[in-house]
Structure 1
Amino acid sequence: MGIGHYSAHNCVLEAFTLAKTLNIAEPTVIRGEELLARGMGGLYGVGRAAAQAPALVCLSYLAPGASQSVAWVGKGIVYDTGGLSIKARSSMVGMKGDCGGAAGALGAFAAFVSEQPDINVHCVLCLAENAVGPNATRPDDIHRLYSGRTVEINNTDAEGRLVLSDGVVYAQRDLKADTIVDIATLTGAQGTATGKYHAAIVSNCGGLERRCVVAGLRCGELTHPLPYAPELHFPEFTSVVADMKNSVADRNNAQPSCAGLFVLSHLGFDFRGGWLHIDMAAPAHSGERATGYGVALLNVLFGAHSSSRLLRALAPPTK
């Protein structure tokens, strides 16, 4: 049984097993009420109605003498009912795979660290079940996220961006990552924008975006850039009672770009590090099966830092 079929608790156990296999330190786990106490209201709010508590899990590989640090942040919604904005019957089938981003990040971390890279690598898993219950987040609720910014909930089925936002800020604030990549089965509109085979990407760094396209061509996990225009797209989240809403006003205005910008807004549009958003909702599956998308892409994208001759040969030029 793959990680895509697991509960949040079993994903935590999987992280501990992997740490032991890789001979690295045990993962950091922030779970349940501790998330709320730490200010991670996005992840906590999404998962608080589930039978098992939501959790942020961080695995870290620290390379001797490394001066650079990268964090891979994966959306790990182990099952997505849509919450109180509940999905239709046909739309809910297959939502055991809504943790494809976390699965890809974890698989990539396992493969990359086994080749002893020369940079620090962190894998941040944002794990929750978006369930229906008495404690479920309601439309009109306001959550304060780890960034300190407040979010008015107008769609509980736009939950992935909430957990990712807490994850990327953890990567920035707690891990001091120079480059942050978030990967997620985030929007149904991704498939409309870039199709079944190309993940949609958006970045604050043109060089990082171009390298991701090249890496995708070289490994077969294809990507295509989205528009990056915060001044045109972020106003879709305007709220009169909070810093932003969590879902767009106009679903025809570049939805996948908007979703990525929501995540970036919690780092800040002036974030000086490199940020890359990978929406792989469609390429994450083929029919009823998961594809493992993201493992090869992340390994090749950062392959210049690997001891593997194959990954170094496939890695896109860094300049």
Structure 2
Amino acid sequence: MSTTSQLGSSPLLFDPPTESDSAAEVQRIVGRYDLLEGVSDSVVVSVGCDLNTYKALLDTIDPKSGGTATTLFSSATSSGSDFKTLSIHALPTSPLSRHNTRLRTASITSTLSPKAPKGTKKVNLTFIAESVSDASAIAAAAAKSFPVFKHTKKSSEEDKGSDAKPKVTHNVRFATSSGLLECKNIYKNAKKTADAVALAARIVDTPPNMMNVSEFINEAEGVVDRLGDHGVKMEVIRGEELKEKGYGGLWNVGKAADDKPALVVLTKKWDQEGEKVSLVGKGIVYDTGGLSLKISGGMVGMKSDCGGAAGLLAAFEAVVSCGTEEPLRELQLVLCLAENSIGPSAFRNDDIITFLSGRTCEINNTDAEGRLVLADGVAHATMTEDKPDLVVDMATLTGAQMVATGKRFAAIVTNSAEAEARAVEAGIRSGDLVHPLPYAPEFFNEEFTSKVADSKNSVKDRMNAQTSCAGQFIGNNVDKTFYDEGGQWLHVDMAGPSTMDGGRGSGFGVGLIMALLKAKGFA
């Protein structure tokens, strides 16, 4: 694997402002129009631009719809007059719906670009925020605009130190109406957030001949290594051992692949009272559909089917590294890793498999494999003496999610009104938006009725809340005593928002989990 394909950190630099920032050839100022209009004069002066030039440029933008305006300006230097570029990116101030975030993170992501004028070596990105607490969410949105995976001849030459052009550095600064923010912790947490988003997106973008189960395990080991001072423990159950220990869902989905499936568990414990949270991620590194083969181009892009596991792995690192405002006693990450492949040993329609929970399942669609691996994952998380207070499973589970809630909102299903409200609020705070779907096992379980097993794995009626049903299938494998003891289960189907236009990974889920657990920077 090339060096570039292993990159994980965001190319954005996060350091408190310095006087040398004004020397950057390109200055970009980003914010809602009303915030740009009321920004402190000192912020404008800090980029080396005079106030009249800034105000004249801002006046060319429609306040309601927003937009981008660019001009050259003269910056006085010791060597004389030096022309630089000023771009103002005004986010729209048009009415905001109650389901959107006031941060307008989608607009930030779509507005920014890593491209810069020819010859540029340094770009300053100054974000005008409404509150100091917005910095990390803005960093997450910005990181989505700067994907890091690249595997081209040109990128390989750059790695070898050829005569290729030097990379452009993008330095991020934050400001409010009162002036530039200088607190080091703000930038420290923002960097960790952006790096986590970049990691999740890069895993999704890496092709399956590079990102197989073994390489995903290496990614998890890398997280443990980077968190060396935090005492994170890692356990791997893989291959035939899965079968022997009863992980029938994960084993059967991945057994046909040369690179065998694995359950990877990362655990961080604190010596304090607090919540225990288990994160369970679907990590299908490639989905052919199995013997229910995806046809007519439906297989293209299925490298993104590990988006849930990628987002949770990166979020785990960021939460542990940043710490949380409210105490946790334990954070557990369960990664369900497999390639849904075809071959002589592939599981078949009409097979009956047994999950770790003990439930049996008659397979009627090998392409409904995500719920099978997650069934084992949530059982692993809840079949313990010290049960978690909250279990969150996250997956690119159903195409129907996009029909139900679209490409901007992940769909959530939960047994708890409290967890539902908490997730929606975390989505609005982070920009990783979610929207609830019905939770009604009494209506949806009949979709999986089997005459020879506890259930089938695919619904009989695709018009009957298919995404809620798929989530319910996973929830049925949560240990019953977990529910009896008041445990909260939250399912996140992020098939749509896991990728952006063009198919690049979005890093969705990092901000959501950080906000859900009140990581520093999101509290």
Instruction: Sort the TM-score into its range (normalised by shorter chain).
Output: over 0.9
Q: Quick check: 1:236 aligned with 2:453?
A: no
Q: Quick check: 1:125 aligned with 2:335?
A: yes
Deviations 1:184-205 (A, max 9, x none): 0000000000011000001000
Deviations 1:145-180 (A, max 9, x none): 000000000000000000001001111114632210
Q: Quick check: 1:10 aligned with 2:224?
A: no
Secondary structure, counterpart of 1:77 in structure 2: strand
Contact 2:382–2:388 (CA<8 Å) still a contact in 1?
A: yes
- TM-superposed deviation, 1:66: 3.4
- Any residues of structure 2 matched to 1:285-296 within 5 Å, and which? 285-286=499-500, 287-296=502-511
Distance 2:372 2:402 in 1: 21
Distance 1:176 1:90 in 2: 43
- TM-superposed deviation, 1:116: 2.9
Deviations 1:254-313 (A, max 9, x none): 00000000001111567231100000000000121010000000000110xx4x2x222x
Aligned to 1:317: none
Contact 1:63–1:116 (CA<8 Å) still a contact in 2?
A: no
Amino acid at match of 2:341: A
Q: Quick check: 1:34 aligned with 2:248?
A: no
Amino acid at match of 1:280: M
- Any residues of structure 2 matched to 1:209-220 within 5 Å, and which? 209-220=420-431
Distance 2:493 2:318 in 1: 21
Aligned equivalent of 1:204, options 407, 415, 439: 415
Q: Quick check: 1:182 aligned with 2:393?
A: yes
Distance 1:283 1:211 in 2: 19
Aligned to 1:274: 488
- Any residues of structure 2 matched to 1:67-78 within 5 Å, and which? 67-78=274-285
- TM-superposed deviation, 1:214: 1.1
Amino acid at match of 2:289: G
Secondary structure, counterpart of 2:461 in structure 1: coil
Secondary structure, counterpart of 1:89 in structure 2: coil
Q: Quick check: 1:284 aligned with 2:498?
A: yes
Secondary structure, counterpart of 1:290 in structure 2: coil
Distance 1:266 1:137 in 2: 20
- TM-superposed deviation, 1:25: 3.5
Aligned to 1:227: 438
Q: What's the C-alpha RMSD, in Å, of the aligned pairs? A: 1.2
> Which residues of structure 2 form unaligned runs of 5+?
6-201
| Ranges of 4+ aligned residues in structure 1 off by more than 3 Å | none
- Asked which structure has the greater RCO (Cα within 8 Å, sep 6+), the reply is 1
Aligned to 1:105: 312
> How many equivalent pairs are there?
308
Aligned equivalent of 1:116, options 293, 300, 323: 323
Aligned to 1:265: 476
Deviations 1:200-232 (A, max 9, x none): 001000011011111111111111100111111
TM-score (norm 2): 0.58
Aligned equivalent of 1:172, options 361, 379, 382: 382
Amino acid at match of 1:301: L
- TM-superposed deviation, 1:20: 1.3
Deviates most, 278-287 or 24-33: 24-33
Aligned to 1:194: 405
Contact 1:73–1:126 (CA<8 Å) still a contact in 2?
A: yes
Aligned to 1:140: 350
Contact 1:16–1:26 (CA<8 Å) still a contact in 2?
A: no
Contact 1:72–1:122 (CA<8 Å) still a contact in 2?
A: yes
Deviations 1:222-259 (A, max 9, x none): 11100111111110000000000000000100000000
Aligned to 1:155: 365
Amino acid at match of 1:35: L
Contact 2:233–2:268 (CA<8 Å) still a contact in 1?
A: no
Distance 2:398 2:303 in 1: 15
Structure with the greater alpha carbon radius of gyration: 2
- TM-superposed deviation, 1:71: 0.6
- TM-superposed deviation, 1:68: 2.4
Distance 1:94 1:66 in 2: 43
TM-score (norm 1): 0.94
Amino acid at match of 2:458: S
When residues 148 and 63 of structure 1 are mapped into structure 2, their CA distance, relative to the original with a 3 A threshold, is same
Secondary structure, counterpart of 1:50 in structure 2: coil
Distance 1:267 1:216 in 2: 24
Aligned to 1:299: 514
Amino acid at match of 2:320: V
Contact 1:20–1:26 (CA<8 Å) still a contact in 2?
A: no
Contact 1:139–1:154 (CA<8 Å) still a contact in 2?
A: yes
Distance 1:294 1:12 in 2: 19
Contact 2:413–2:491 (CA<8 Å) still a contact in 1?
A: yes
Identity, in percent, stands at 53
Secondary structure, counterpart of 1:99 in structure 2: helix
Distance 1:193 1:269 in 2: 28
Aligned to 2:65: none
Q: Quick check: 1:251 aligned with 2:462?
A: yes
Amino acid at match of 2:503: E
> Which residues of structure 1 form unaligned runs of 5+?
313-319
Deviates most, 170-179 or 234-243: 170-179
- TM-superposed deviation, 1:69: 0.8
Distance 1:263 1:182 in 2: 9
Secondary structure, counterpart of 1:104 in structure 2: helix
Contact 2:237–2:264 (CA<8 Å) still a contact in 1?
A: yes
Aligned to 1:64: 271
- TM-superposed deviation, 1:89: 3.3
Contact 2:291–2:342 (CA<8 Å) still a contact in 1?
A: yes
Distance 1:269 1:258 in 2: 18
Amino acid at match of 2:394: I
